[in-house]
Chains A and B, each alone.
Chain A
Amino acid sequence: LTAGSIDVEAAGTQGEDRACQPLELHLPLTRASIEAARQAVLAHLAPATLPAPVTYNLELILEEVLMNLVMHAHEDPTGHEVHLAVHQRDDEVDLRFEDDGRPFDPTASEPSPTAGTLEDARIGGLGLPLLRRRARRLHYKRCGGRNVFTVTVGLVPREAKP
């Protein structure tokens, strides 16, 4: 990982304890950061030996949130960063995204209605609805001119949603 810093504990810590330490990443707002974040987060949570559907969920949520920030947080994201903190406790993990982009509350916007037909389908607008379905909880606050968005993801295969 060339972009940003990863805060890992001192060598010698047992694997089980390792995932209890928060992981902190400072990533430039670029598409390349999505892959960097994916690898760092999965490596961090590796001691928890997550079931494949949970890994998929985490990857999907990371991609949707980061892609949304890269595309919409700034007119030009060059030089801007997102701060990602990953904190695991019990059977869930918090992914906390902090950015200095325009105010955006992902918990406030209404889910877009399903298109119904190919003619009506919009190209886009799929990320947030997916995020809502895949996350256990979403929390947003605007704090000191920054968006702080926390997505809580279950570490057991997700409960069926209607």
Chain B
Amino acid sequence: MEIELIEDTEGVTHVRLAGRLDATGADQIGIRLTAVVVARGQSALMDLSGVSFVASLGIRLLISCAKGLKVKGATMVVYGARPEVQEVFDDAALDQILPIAGTHAQALERLQG
């Protein structure tokens, strides 16, 4: 499981995740993701197009980051989920908890809107 900080400009943190966001993956990146995204305290865009699998612990990590940012008055938007990953988000009704967008442009819109 990998995290890449794509850019950190105009008050927005932009990261890309890649790999399997299962229990093992969530363990691997949990602390670092929190350090990169939540510690910055500014709104974040999270590109999930490289994530091939997500299970409940992965969703838990996303919610935990979004909650951490919310406390600081910032928003996290995830985007680019593959159809099989999006299906799990749908099953978990994740879109009721945090904004999910299709593309980077739509994600930016959600942040600005």
**Residues of A participating in the B interface, judged by any CB pair closer than 8 Å:** 31, 34-35, 52-53, 56, 59-60, 63-64, 67, 114-119, 121, 123-124, 126-127, 129-130, 133-134
- B97 interfacial by beta-carbon distance below 8 Å: yes
Distance in angstroms from B90 CB to nearest chain A CB is 9
Binding-face segment, B7-15, B39-47, B59-67, B104-112: B59-67
Total A-B pairs in contact (CB under 8 Å)?
A: 69
Chain B: residues with Cβ within 8 Å of the partner, total of: 24
Q: Which residues of chain A are near B64, meaning CB under 8 Å?
A: 123
Q: Which residues of chain B are near A64, meaning CB under 8 Å?
A: 55-56
Q: Which residues of chain A are near B53, meaning CB under 8 Å?
A: 56, 59-60
Provide the main secondary structure of the chain A interface: helix
Q: Which residue of A lies closest to B99 (CB)?
A: A118
Q: Which residue of A lies closest to B84 (CB)?
A: A56
CB within 8 A of B60: which of A34, A59, A116, A124?
A: A124
List 18 A-B pairs, Cβ < 8 Å.
A31-B27, A35-B24, A52-B84, A53-B84, A59-B53, A63-B57, A67-B57, A115-B93, A117-B96, A117-B97, A118-B63, A118-B66, A118-B67, A118-B98, A123-B60, A126-B60, A130-B92, A133-B91
